[in-house]
């Protein structure tokens, strides 16, 4: 028996596995409280399975990495092929064969305007590459980023984050980042006019808020960046590879050509860390202007054979399933279903997002007094509590995995795989409808969240009225 097999046999089905002890016990505790801590033993397509064979519809898809479904046979076969041969790998002194092939295919999908690929290992790192190249080329220092943005957790990337909650205790961040309001052209223009901006980072559809940039805004951003010598940087870590529908990349959908595009997540079929920053010829020439500038970027594990092979297999699958069209059609089905449900429940404020990055934003019910009271009370603990309770109920009662998009946002988000079938669509919509119905029939958000969260909300409500610490002893 192989060494890994015996370890898996011993530990895989344990709900109390060692990560609880050694990695993040508090997070595990949170999952436990919310009824989310299941020991998954298998993943295939859009489903995860526990040891008893129960299936869980996974609409979070590992934060978007499993866009072609979990454990796609084409990707697994590519990994096995690479692992079974004594290939040269990470030679450092030489180029990677598989890396070159994958880069060619990526550039073909991106179309004219992009001619070179810089590989790295995560979405954050791909954005760090863009920061570095932009500073080097423009010799300017400042970056503009959007309110509600998320670009990763490395030092530069987190400095571009549009949520103060995610930056607590991190100051000073990169001191040259200015947050601007998405789709506010006046603000964008007035910052760029100062002439000191190296680059503007945007997500076509924000992963955290599902805010979509207006196409006109992006086209004007392109024009202004060129006019004021700033680089336009599209973070397509989440939106890339057809997830927005109709096109391989969101910049194509918007009809703009950024100076750099960053990619990750989907690219290796969820199997191996991978990331890429696409650049055009002019930019490449400016970054790598002579032999000595070679080391301006290098990352030890980037271009490793497993990642490159998984990337090639993933692109093959995306083309085979015609991901652009499939994502578009699937998105329409989901939006249609959600819109029908919205008409029956006034807590649904709006359907947000685009393509296969969709969400539902909630508000206080006007038609159900008890529900409204619970919502108000729980919102004292966190404005996103209702969304969190929907999330918990979907998993606990329907085995449907959704996610809370961003801090304090009263919403649920789905990032389905492109091969989600009709059965999965119906299961999601039925579970969502049943969850809404339960909230309306008197259950309300307090039930799924459990006693601890409700107590905490009461405490915070009271403290708001009577001052801090007034209820601490009673609890």
Ligand X SMILES: Cc1ncc(COP(=O)(O)O)c(C=O)c1O
Binding site for ligand X (CB under 6 A): 63, 122-124, 150-152, 203, 207, 235, 237-238, 264
Closer residue to ligand X, CB minimum distance, 240 or 448: 240
Minimum Å gap between C-beta 69 and ligand X is: 19
**How many Å apart are CA 219 and CA 224, to the nearest integer?**
9
The helix/strand/coil state of 144 is: strand
Q: Return the closest-CA partner of residue 328 out of 426, 418, 214.
A: 418
Query: Residue 431 CB, nearest distance to ligand X (Å)?
Result: 24
Between 46 and 268, CB nearer to ligand X: 268
Tokens 């690479």: give the residue: 82
In the complex, the smallest distance separating the C-beta of residue 276 from ligand X, rounded to whole angstroms, is 12
* Pick 235 or 259: Cβ nearer ligand X: 235
Indicate the residue among 64 and 337 with the shorter CB distance to ligand X. 64
- With vertex at residue 393, the alpha carbon angle to CA 380 and CA 422, rounded to the nearest 5 degrees, is 130
Residue that has been written with the tokens 């539902």 in this structure: 360
Tokens 């393509």 -> residue: 355
Residue 90 CB-half CA count within 13 A: 9
Tell me whether residue 49 or residue 301 sits nearer to ligand X (CB atom): 301
Helices 215-228 and 185-192 pack at an angle, to 10 degrees, of: 10
| 265 backbone φψ class: left, alpha, beta (φ>0; ψ -120 to 50) | left
How many CB atoms neighbour CB 390 within 10 A? 25
Q: DSSP for 283-320, please give it.
A: HHHHHT-SGGGGGGS--TTTT-HHHHHHHHHHHHHHHH
Q: How far is the CB of 196 from ligand X (least distance, A)?
A: 24
Distance CA 347, CA 429 (A): 16
Helix (H/G/I), strand (E/B), else coil: 475: coil
Q: How far is the CB of 82 from ligand X (least distance, A)?
A: 22
269 vs 448, beta carbon nearer ligand X = 269
Query: Omega of the bond prior to 344 within 30 degrees of 0, cis?
Result: no
From the CB of 122, what's the least distance to ligand X, in Å?
4
Taking CB atoms, the residue at the shortest distance from ligand X is 123
Distance CA 379, CA 372 (A): 10
> What is the C-alpha separation between 454 and 451, in angstroms, rounded?
5
Q: How far apart are CA 153 and CA 324, in angstroms?
A: 29
Q: SS3 for 412?
A: strand
Q: Can you tell me which residue has the tokens 């860390």?
A: 273
- Give min distance, CB of 72 to ligand X, in A: 19
Q: Which is nearer to ligand X, 129 or 429 (CB)?
A: 129
Nearest distance from C-beta of residue 430 to ligand X, angstroms: 28
> Least distance (Å) from ligand X to the CB of residue 161?
10
Of the two residues 43 and 405, which places its CB atom closer to ligand X in the complex? 405
Q: How far apart are CA 457 and CA 461, in angstroms?
A: 6
Please report how close the Cβ of residue 179 comes to ligand X at its closest, in angstroms. 16
Residue 131 or 449: the one with the smaller Cβ distance to ligand X is 131
């Amino acid at each position: 028996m192989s060494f890994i097999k015996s370890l898996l046999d011993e530990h895989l089905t344990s709900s109390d596995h060692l990560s609880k002890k050694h990695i993040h016990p508090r997070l595990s505790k949170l999952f436990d409280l919310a009824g989310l801590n299941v020991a998954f033993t298998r993943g295939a397509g859009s489903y995860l399975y526990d040891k008893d064979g129960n299936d869980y519809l996974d609409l979070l898809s590992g934060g978007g990495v499993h866009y072609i479904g979990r454990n796609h046979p084409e990707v697994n076969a590519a990994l096995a092929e690479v692992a079974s041969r004594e290939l040269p790998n990470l030679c450092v002194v030489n180029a990677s064969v598989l890396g070159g092939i994958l880069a060619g295919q990526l550039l073909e999908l991106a179309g004219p305007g992009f001619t070179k690929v810089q590989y790295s290992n995560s979405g954050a790192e791909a954005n760090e590459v863009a920061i570095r190249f932009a500073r080097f080329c423009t010799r300017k220092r400042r970056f503009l980023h959007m309110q509600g943005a998320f670009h990763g957790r490395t030092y530069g990337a987190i400095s571009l984050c549009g949520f103060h909650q995610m930056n607590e205790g991190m100051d000073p961040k990169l001191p040259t980042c200015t947050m601007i309001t998405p789709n506010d052209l006046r603000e964008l223009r007035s910052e760029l006019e100062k002439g000191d901006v190296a680059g503007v980072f945007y997500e076509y559809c924000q992963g955290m808020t599902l805010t979509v940039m207006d196409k006109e805004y992006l086209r004007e951003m392109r024009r202004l960046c060129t006019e004021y010598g700033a680089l336009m940087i599209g973070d397509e870590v989440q939106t890339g590879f057809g997830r927005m529908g109709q096109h391989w990349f969101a910049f194509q959908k918007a009809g703009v050509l950024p100076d750099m595009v960053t990619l990750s997540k989907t690219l290796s079929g969820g199997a191996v860390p991978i990331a890429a920053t696409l650049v055009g010829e002019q930019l490449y020439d400016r970054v790598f202007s002579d032999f000595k500038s070679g080391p301006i970027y290098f990352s030890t594990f980037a271009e490793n054979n497993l990642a490159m092979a998984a990337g090639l297999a993933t692109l093959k699958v995306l083309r085979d399933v015609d991901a652009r069209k499939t994502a578009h059609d699937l998105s329409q089905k989901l939006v249609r279903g959600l819109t029908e449900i919205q008409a029956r429940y006034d807590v649904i404020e709006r359907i947000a997002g685009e393509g296969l990055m969709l969400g539902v934003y909630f508000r206080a019910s006007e038609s159900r007094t008890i529900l409204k009271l619970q919502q108000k009370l729980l919102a004292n603990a966190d404005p996103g509590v209702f969304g969190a309770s929907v999330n918990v109920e979907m998993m606990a009662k329907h085995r449907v995995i959704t996610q809370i998009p961003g801090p304090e946002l009263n919403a649920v988000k789905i990032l389905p795989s492109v091969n989600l079938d009709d059965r999965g669509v119906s299961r999601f919509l039925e579970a969502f409808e049943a969850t809404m119905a339960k909230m309306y029939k008197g259950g309300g958000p307090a039930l799924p969240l459990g006693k601890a969260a409700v107590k905490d909300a009461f405490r915070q409500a009271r403290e708001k009225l009577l001052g801090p610490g007034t209820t601490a002893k009673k609890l």
